[in-house]
Amino acid sequence: MDRGTENATATAWQPQRGDLAHDTGPGRLGVVTALPEDTGTAAYQLTLQGGGAGRTAPLTRLRPPAAAKAAALYVCAERSRRIQPALPIERAEEEGLAFAALHRLDLVESITDPFGEPDPQQRAGWLRVRELAETGRVATVIVRWPAAISPEHSHEFRAREIAWLKARATTVRYSWPPLADPGMG
Other Cβ atoms less than 10 A from the Cβ of 70: the count is 22
Is there a contact between 71 and 107 (Cβ–Cβ < 8 Å)?
Answer: yes
Q: Does 24 or 40 have the greater pLDDT score?
A: 40
At 85, is the pLDDT very low, low, confident or very high (cuts 50, 70, 90)? low
pLDDT tens per residue, range 3-25: 333 333 444 678 999 998 888 77
Is there a contact between 111 and 74 (Cβ–Cβ < 8 Å)?
Answer: yes
Q: Stretch 57-85: mean pLDDT, rounded? A: 80
Strand 55-58 relative to strand 43-48: parallel, antiparallel, unpaired? antiparallel
Q: Nearest-5° angle of CA 73, CA 98, CA 129?
A: 5
Q: Reduced to 3 DSSP states, what percent helix, strand and coil does the chain have, rounded to the nearest 5?
A: 35, 25, 40
pLDDT of residue 68: 78
pLDDT tens per residue, range 140-160: 999 999 999 999 999 999 999
